[in-house]
Structure 1
Amino acid sequence: MQRRSFLRNSLLSTGALAVTGSLSARNQVNPSLKFKLDYAPHDGMFSTSAGGDFIDQIKYMHDLGFRSIEDNGMAGRSTEQQTQIGETLAKLGMRMGVFVVPKGGNGANTLAAKNNRHVDIFLEGCRKSVEVAKRCNAKWVTVVPGDFEKHLPIAIQTSNVIEALRRGAEIFEPHGIVMVLEPLSDSPDLFLRTSTQTYEICKAVDSPSCKILFDAYHLQKNEGNLIANLELCWDETPYIQVGDNPGRREPTTGEINYKNVFKFLYDKGYKGIVGMEHGTSLQGKQGEQRLVQAYREVDDFPVAK
Structure 2
Amino acid sequence: MEKQYQVVEEKGANQRLDKALCLLFDISRNRAKELIDEEAVLVNGIGTKPSYKVQTGDEIELLMPPLEEVEIKPENIPLDIVYEDEDVLVVNKPRGMVVHPSPGHYSGTLVNALMYHIKDLSGINGVMRPGIVHRIDKDTSGLLIVCKNDNAHTQISKQLSEKECKREYKAIVHRPFSHTFGTVDAPIGRDEKNRQKMAVTANNSKNAITHFEVLENFKNYAYILCKLETGRTHQIRVHMEYIEHPIVGDPKYGYRKTLPTDGQLLHAYALEFTHPTTGKRMRFEKEPPQIFQDVLHKMETGEIE
Where on the TM-score scale, by shorter chain, does this alignment land: which range?
under 0.3
What TM-score, normalized to structure 1? 0.24
Structure with bigger RCO (C-alpha 8 Å, 6+ apart):
1
- Structure with the larger helix share: 1
What TM-score, normalized to structure 2? 0.24
